[in-house]
Amino acid sequence: MTPTITAFERSPDGGMGLARDTRVRWALEEVGQPYEVRLVSFRAMKEPAHLALHPFGQIPTYEEGGLALFETGAIVIHIAERHAGLLPEDGDARARAIAWMFAALSTVEPPILDLSTARMVEGDRPWAEERLPLVMDRIRVRLGQLSARLGDADWLDGAFSAGDLLMVSVLLRLRSSGLLDEYPNLAAYVARGEARPAYRRAFAAQLAVNAPSG
């Protein structure tokens, strides 16, 4: 059965691939699962039909037969359980890969999202300029720890896994800030993720929706 995901009718990033549907597209491309996409407007995201699928009014969602899922991490685990290629077979290695999925979404991404909030939502507040370095330093704490753990390895724990897929996706948000370039091994890690054919197909698919000329 072909799953259907939702994505922004027009992504706020204009096709840079930072919207979370790109993460699910990437996972589906890694395992070779075709999918359909239903585009949702900002207004429709807050209406009852979409809230029934996603209680927090966001994208992506994932529908497959009678199953409706939200939360990118849960969608990626669901895909990984039905297809080889995203989580290791060995139980201990699989548990560690899931740890990196949670690390990406609940330890590394929140301070990175705070930077967007500080710039976009609070950018015109009187404290914006003085507060920004504090927010950036909190990101540096996490990047320094992640950089130390990665070292000169290609991926976080052995072969590429769903943990890397989400961590690379989270770090991509930092490109325009310049922060990533302070940690050359993390910048190279992100570049390795972007070079994967599955990522490139996922990126192209979202760009086809969001390109300025599209």
Contacting positions for its own copies (CB under 8 A): 51, 55-58, 66-67, 69-75, 77-78, 92, 95-96, 98-103, 105-107, 109-110, 113-114, 121-122, 125-127, 130-131, 134, 142, 145-146, 148-149
Q: Least separation, in Å, of the C-beta of 162 and its own copies?
A: 12
> Of the two residues 75 and 205, which places its CB atom closer to its own copies in the complex?
75
Q: Least separation, in Å, of the C-beta of 5 and its own copies?
A: 14
Q: Least separation, in Å, of the C-beta of 27 and its own copies?
A: 14
Whose CA is closest to 168, among 103, 96, 84? Answer: 103
Residue 141 near residue 108 (C-beta atoms within 8 A): no
> Of the two residues 69 and 165, which places its CB atom closer to its own copies in the complex?
69
Residue 93 near residue 158 (C-beta atoms within 8 A): yes
Whose CA is closest to 203, among 4, 71, 7? Answer: 7
Q: Least separation, in Å, of the C-beta of 76 and its own copies?
A: 10
Q: Least separation, in Å, of the C-beta of 207 and its own copies?
A: 25
> Of the two residues 135 and 204, which places its CB atom closer to its own copies in the complex?
135
> Of the two residues 7 and 104, which places its CB atom closer to its own copies in the complex?
104
Q: Least separation, in Å, of the C-beta of 103 and its own copies?
A: 5
> Of the two residues 76 and 205, which places its CB atom closer to its own copies in the complex?
76
> Of the two residues 127 and 159, which places its CB atom closer to its own copies in the complex?
127
